[in-house]
């Protein structure tokens, strides 16, 4: 029997690395996980308490396709308090993780064959979801000169080669941790509106910033789609809960798609997540830990001979150029894991054209583990 073309997209390499790391751990050998992009901590205490209450008191059946109203109202309050932006809860969609949000927004915003621009390096699932949905990813090669982010000149240059129907912009970004300034985001938003380009703003790492706060596209565009998640700042990866903030013209299309594709996000996760916004002190302590971990690597990597890497202004990643040591980042990561127990992700996951000389380091784990990993990387490269 045939397998449809959409089912032949590449795997998510970081998951393959994690499997290899877990296989090593199963033999009794130690592993330092700098490959996977998730907090090493569980959900905040008040979220766990809310989940227990919901188990005892709520039906936990299907919810409205857009999610329970208390959570959508709390999200609207979050936008008012954090960004000074007014958002009608009717425009907020609670989704099965940000992944569900990307699928819904791509399906509603684009027709098969539409061309959607995205930065390279960038999160590989963007590219693979687009391909699976019959869309064409248009990768914008970026580098340190643009902080690994799309810019209006870069976008204009891509348009000269063919039409652009959409733009995915992530700030803070995976794998680089780079942030677009509020002025830069406003400029990109205006340009997209003028050109009829649908802006999809990935804001799932908001809250994990070390210098300036990341801006939301909602402050500068009425037509942008914002994607966010409880996985990163809120430390709730396994709860599989995200959300969209939609422009008015996409509300009903996304509602119909959501009803048919997912019915609703997990009821238990939704009830628990209402309490997540009362956990700022606990969550900001995690961000302070990420900063400490980042600073350890920023000091250690140059000493190990790795001198070119992203600024890492947010999220919990550093994207590092290891081209002086290898032209095969996958083999580099395989040897590093086998010989030192340190798991990193090869850059090929994020940039098929140039990732052979890059690796991503995730520093979302324990500070002790990050420090040990930095020492082992230095020994490995010496």
Q: pLDDT tens digits for 182-199?
A: 999 999 999 999 999 999
The mean per-residue pLDDT over the stretch 205-216 comes to 96
- pLDDT tens column, 254-269: 999 999 999 999 999 9
What residues contact residue 194 under an 8 Å CB cut-off, 6+ apart? none
What is the pTM for the complete model shown? 0.95
Q: Identify whether the C-beta of residue 334 lies closer than 8 Å to the C-beta of residue 325.
A: no
- Regarding whether 30 and 63 lie in a shared domain, the answer is no
Considering the domain architecture, whether residues 67 and 208 belong to the same structural domain is answered as yes
For the segment 214-231, the average pLDDT, to the nearest whole number, is 98
Please check whether residues 206 and 79 belong to one and the same domain: yes
Would you place residue 311 in the very low, low, confident or very high pLDDT band (cuts 50, 70, 90)? Answer: confident
Both tokens of 175, joined, read 């794998």
Place of tokens 């001198």: 307
Q: Which pLDDT does position 83 carry in this prediction? A: 98
CA distance 189 to 52: 42
288 by Cβ neighbours in 10 Å (0-12 / 13-18 / 19+) ranks as exposed
- Which CATH number is 344's domain given? 3.90.1150.10
Adjacency order of strands within the sheet including 317-321: 317-321, 358-362, 345-346
Terminal Cα distance for the chain, rounded: 52
- Single out the residue of 54, 46, 49, 43 nearest to residue 271, CA to CA: 54
Average pLDDT of the residues in 47-74: 97
The whole-angstrom separation of Cα 231 and Cα 237 is 4
Q: Give residue 272's domain range.
A: 45-277
Nearest to 24 by CA among 33, 14, 12, 13: 33
As a whole number of angstroms, the distance between CA 304 and CA 297 comes to 10
So what's the pLDDT on residue 302?
97
Among 182, 188, 138, 205, which Cα is nearest to 353's? 138
Look at residues 220, 243, 277 and tell me which one is the last residue of a structural domain.
277
Q: Indicate the residue among 277, 294, 324 that finishes a domain.
A: 277
What mean pLDDT is predicted for residues 131-138?
96
Please report which residue ranges of 218-279 form alpha helices under DSSP H.
251-261, 267-273
For residue 99, the domain's CATH number is 3.40.640.10
pLDDT in tens, 234-252: 999 999 999 999 999 999 9
What is the reported pLDDT for 123? Answer: 96
Q: pLDDT digits over 148-162, tens only?
A: 999 999 999 999 999
The DSSP code for 226 is: E
Spatial distance between the Cα atoms of 307 and 3, rounded to a whole number of angstroms: 44
Residues 301 and 363 in one domain: yes
Tokens of 264: 């609703």
Residues 209 and 289 in one domain: no
Is the same domain home to 239 and 324? no
Within this chain, do residues 63 and 146 fall inside the same structural domain, yes or no? yes
Query: Is the domain of 59 the same as that of 131?
Result: yes
Is residue 14's pLDDT more than 80? no
CA distance 185 to 224: 11
Same domain, 32 and 64: no
Per DSSP bridges, beta strands 225-229 and 92-95 are unpaired
% of the chain residues with pLDDT over 70: 100
User: 191 and 73 in one domain?
Assistant: yes
Kindly state the average pLDDT of the residues 111-123.
Answer: 98
Any bridge partners for residue 136, and if so which?
115
Q: Are residues 161 and 247 in the same domain?
A: yes
Contact criterion met (CB below 8 Å) for 369 and 316: no
Helix-helix angle 13-26:329-340, to 10 degrees: 20
349 and 246 share one domain: no
Q: How many domains does the chain have?
A: 2
The last residue of a domain, from among 261, 277, 293: 277
The pLDDT of residue 2 is 80
What are 22's two structure tokens? 């877990």
């Amino acid at each position: 029997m045939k397998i449809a073309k959409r089912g032949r997209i590449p795997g998510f390499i970081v998951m393959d690395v994690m499997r290899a790391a877990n296989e090593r751990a199963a033999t009794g050998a130690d592993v330092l996980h700098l490959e996977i992009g998730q907090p090493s901590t569980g959900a905040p205490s008040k979220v766990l308490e809310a989940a227990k209450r919901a188990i005892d008191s709520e039906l936990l059946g299907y919810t409205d396709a857009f999610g329970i109203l208390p959570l959508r109202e709390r999200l609207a309050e979050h936008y008012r308090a954090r960004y000074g932006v007014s958002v009608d809860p009717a425009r907020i969609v609670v989704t099965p993780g940000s992944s569900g949000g990307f699928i819904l927004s791509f399906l509603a915003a684009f027709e098969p064959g539409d061309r959607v621009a995205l930065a390279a390096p960038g999160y590989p699932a963007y590219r693979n979801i687009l391909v699976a949905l019959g869309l064409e990813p248009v990768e914008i090669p970026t580098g340190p000169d643009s902080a690994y982010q799309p810019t209006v000149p870069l976008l204009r240059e891509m348009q000269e080669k063919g039409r652009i129907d959409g733009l995915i912009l992530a700030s803070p970004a995976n794998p680089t941790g780079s942030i677009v300034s509020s002025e830069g985001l406003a400029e990109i938003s205006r340009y997209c509106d003028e050109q009829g380009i649908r802006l999809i703003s990935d804001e799932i790492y908001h809250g994990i910033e070390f210098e300036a706060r990341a801006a939301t596209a909602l402050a500068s565009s009425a037509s942008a789609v914002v994607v966010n998640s409880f996985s990163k700042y809120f430390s709730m990866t396994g709860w599989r809960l995200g959300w969209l903030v939609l422009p008015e013209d996409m509300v009903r299309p996304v509602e119909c798609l959501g009803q048919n594709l997912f019915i609703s996000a997990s009821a238990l996760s939704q009830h628990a997540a209402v309490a997540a916004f009362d956990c700022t002190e606990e969550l900001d302590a995690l961000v302070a830990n990420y900063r400490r971990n980042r600073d350890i690597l920023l000091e250690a990597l140059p000493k190990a001979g790795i001198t070119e890497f992203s600024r890492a202004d947010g999220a919990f990643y550093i994207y590092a150029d290891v081209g002086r040591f290898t032209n095969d980042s996958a083999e580099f990561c395989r040897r590093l894991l086998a010989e030192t127990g340190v798991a990193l992700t090869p850059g090929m996951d994020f940039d098929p054209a140039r990732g052979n000389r890059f690796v991503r380091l995730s520093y979302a784990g324990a500070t002790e583990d990050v420090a040990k990993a930095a020492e082992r990387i230095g020994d490995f490269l010496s």
